[in-house]
Each structure stands twice: as C-alpha cells, then as structure tokens.
Chains A and B, each alone.
Chain A
C-alpha cells in the first residue's frame, strides 16, 4: 500500500444556524505532513471529522486517494478506514479492554490476526512508543496521561495505516512529555511512509511534527505555508496566533 493524498474543496458544514466550516480548501500530498492550526471553535476538529466520515459535510468535495469519500457508502467508508489511523485528543482508549487489546483492536476485530499473535504485535508496537510489554496487561485507567497518549499512538499505527490523523497530540502533557510524543509521532510516520494530518494549537509541537501548516479561522483556511515559518509568515493573523500575542487582528475581531 502507498500513502494516501487528501484534497478538500469548498467544504461547508453548519450545526443548526452556526456555520462551522465555510468553504475549506486543503490539499495534502501523499507522504507529507500537514498541521492545521487555529483557535478553539475555529473548525479544526470538524475538518478532521469530515475527512474521517464521522461528520457529513453539507457541501464540498473530500477526496482521499483520489476517491470522493462524500459519495461513498458506509461500507466502503469503513473499508477505506482500514488504511487510516487516528490519535484522539483524550486517547479514547476502550476502558473495558486491556492495553494490548486496545493496541491490536483493529487487527483482532477483523480477525486478521490470532489473539496470541496480537499480543506479540502489541508488545512490538508498544516498544516502538517506548513502553514495556508488561504495560499491555494493564487497564487504560491504570496509566498516566502520557502513557495513555503513547498507547493511543500505538493503536493508531498498529495496523500500519497509510494516512494518520493526530488530534491535539500534546494537549494535557508537560512540555517534555509533549516533545517525546512529537518525536514518536515523527518516527512512526516516517517508518510507515504515511501521510499525516495533525491539528494543534501548540506551536512548538506544530513545528516539530509538521512539514507544512495551514491556519483555519472562522471556518476558512486563511494561510498555508511551511511549518518552520510559523511566527514569521508575514500574515498578521498567523503570526499573532503563533507568537501568542494579545494584540492583533484576531483580538480586534473579538472586540467587534
């Protein structure tokens, strides 16, 4: 399998009278890494949920690997999901299952692997994210926040996806653990040769994990460019956001 490219064109989504996405256009080349930035409520998470099919857009085209997924049947979407992985902000680990079953959930659910082989595969993937095999026997509730993120990352990459999503991967972690998780994300994405789309408002994290960055504001993409440029893009809105400054166009809009 090869990495999947993603293209969004004119994607709109409203919840009731509130328009959350107002014509989002994004293009992510195969085997590249994009970070989507934006403040709370700007539409970052809804954009990712639309790509994943968890939320149906009102208008627009979403292509994954050249196929318009908005027109796919649910069964075809689930089949395409085989090639994707997702790291949720709060981990979203299954409480009722031990860590090793969480990690190999997709492989077990699809009977692609025996339970004995799944244990071995879980130990292998846990090692890749810096966790001992013995962690596999614990329940998710017995893990610290950082360990839960590592397990969630292990689950996202265990089935060797071609397209991976990371939703606020460093939120709730201390700066050192955040840097560790970012390093693991970069390692995993490179090892798999996958395409990665992340959303974050942590600038340090964005520079570490993204090759390119896009800023979303009021449901529209207002800037795209190299992630290394963040803070010095020449776009007042992006630079204000990246530097975390109180004064600037974003605050001026809030005052209206």
Chain B
C-alpha cells in the first residue's frame, strides 16, 4: 500500500527529472551549434526578420496601450496620497524594468513560439526532419540553432521599441489628459531612469527570447502523432514558454535589484 503510493509519487517525479535533463541537453546542444560552424546565415536572417520585423506591430501596440493604462491607473491611485507627480517615474521604471520585456516576451511567445512548434512539428510528422539528416544536414544546426539565435537577438530590439512606445503612451496620457507639463513630465522620466534599468530589461529580453526559441523548437522537434500531436506541441510551447518567462522574470529581477 505504502509502496504503491510512493511509486505513484516517484514515477512522475523521475519522469519530470528525465524531461528536465533531456531539455537541458537539447539546450546545450543548441548553444553548441550556435557557436560552431557551419552557420546557416540565410536561415537565421529569415527567422530574425520574422521575429523582429513582423512581431513589431503587436509588440508596439501592446506597449503603447500598457503605458497609457499605467499612467491613468497610477495617477488615480497616487491621487489618494497626493503623489501624482510620481506618475512619470513609475511609468518609465515599470515599463523599462518589467512590462516592456515581459509583455513583449509573452506576445512573441504566443506568436513565434507557436509558429515554430507548429512548423517543426509538421516537419517531424511528415519526415522532413529525417529527410534533412539523409541530406547530410544536422537538423539541430539547420533548424534549431538559427531559430534560437534569432529569438535571442530579436527580442532585445523589440523591447527597445516597446520601452520607447510604453513611455510615449504614458507621456501622451500624462500631457493630454492628466494636465502634466510636457517638459516636466520628460524631466521626471529622464531623472529617474538609470542605465542599469535599461540594461536589466534588455538582458531579460534576451533570456526570454532564448526561452521562446528553445521551447518552440523543443516541442516541435519532439512532436509525434500527426495533427493532434502538432496541436499539442504548439499549445505546450506557448504555455511553458509563458510560465518560464514569468518565473525567470523573478530570477533576473532578484539578480539585479535584490535589496
């Protein structure tokens, strides 16, 4: 009885440990393929444009409206403590340190992580990945490495845009609706912002980009069972990447801003 109960607990724990180990080996192999030649520049560029350029509208709109909402919410909240003057500072720090990287990461996870898992999953179930091997091409190097490198490098660029538009959204609401003087709002924004705020946000973005690429490739690469398997891989890639983004957000924040 007790043995069966322990086995019931032990089996999934061992299975989870095995999965984490296999994922770690997959990630290590991907990184090793990123830094070792041959490099597939054409593949990298194709994915980089897909991530950086075609994700721009969704990331930009998300950041803009988030900045606007943040200004409005913090103004009405701070009014209770007569602290309305802190709106510009709160908007810029929140956007640059947290919301820019996290929201861009979640948006790209939904858009790109899903697409990568679906594309690689379809390639797996239609033998295209095996076909690559028979054409003397390492699928890890040709399919996985360029995708992970593209998301890792593209997300910081998207976050720069998200930061600028998020702050602009707050500025628009602050000056047009809440009655802030334009120069004073911008002064407050610049005064409070430090280089480390921006750097930490960009490092978060690179980490999130790596996670999105890794999860999209991992689930797509190991997809099986036809259309249903590809669907499951796509969902898993987005869900797991999103959870990891939120968890790693805490880890990176702790590393940079622990009191």
A residues lining the B interface (CB < 8 Å): 49, 52-54, 74, 78-79, 81-82, 84-86, 88-90, 92-96, 105-106, 109-111, 155, 165
Contact = CB atoms under 8 A, between A and B. Distances in A.
B142 A84 contact: no
Contacts of A93: 128, 131
Contact of A92 (B119, B131, B137): B131
A78 B138 contact: yes
Contacts of A74: 138
Interface of B: 38, 40, 119, 122-123, 126-128, 130-131, 133-138, 142
Nearest to B42: A108
B128 A78 contact: no
A41 B158 CA distance: 49
Contacts of B119: 96
Contacts of B123: 94
Contacts of A96: 119
A221 B99 CA distance: 63
Contacts of B131: 86, 88, 92-94
Contacts, number: 56
Contact of B142 (A52, A89, A109): A109
A74 B136 CA distance: 11
A106 B130 contact: no
Given A88-B127, A94-B128, A109 B133 contact: no
Nearest to B136: A81
A113 to B, nearest CB: 14
A78 B127 contact: no
A92 B125 CA distance: 10
Contacts of B40: 109
B41 to A, nearest CB: 11
A89 B125 CA distance: 12
Q: Which of B122, B127, B142 has the most CB of A within 10 A?
A: B127
B127 A106 contact: no
A85 B134 contact: yes
B191 to A, nearest CB: 49
Contacts of B122: 95
B259 to A, nearest CB: 48
Contact of A89 (B127, B133, B136, B137): B127
B126 A79 contact: no
Contacts of A81: 133-136
B135 A109 contact: yes
Contacts of B128: 92-95
Nearest to B127: A92
A52 B134 contact: yes
Given A78-B138, A109-B142, A92 B133 contact: no
Contacts of A90: 126-127
A92 B130 contact: yes
Nearest to B131: A92
B136 A110 contact: yes
A242 B122 CA distance: 34
Nearest to A79: B136
Contacts of A79: 136
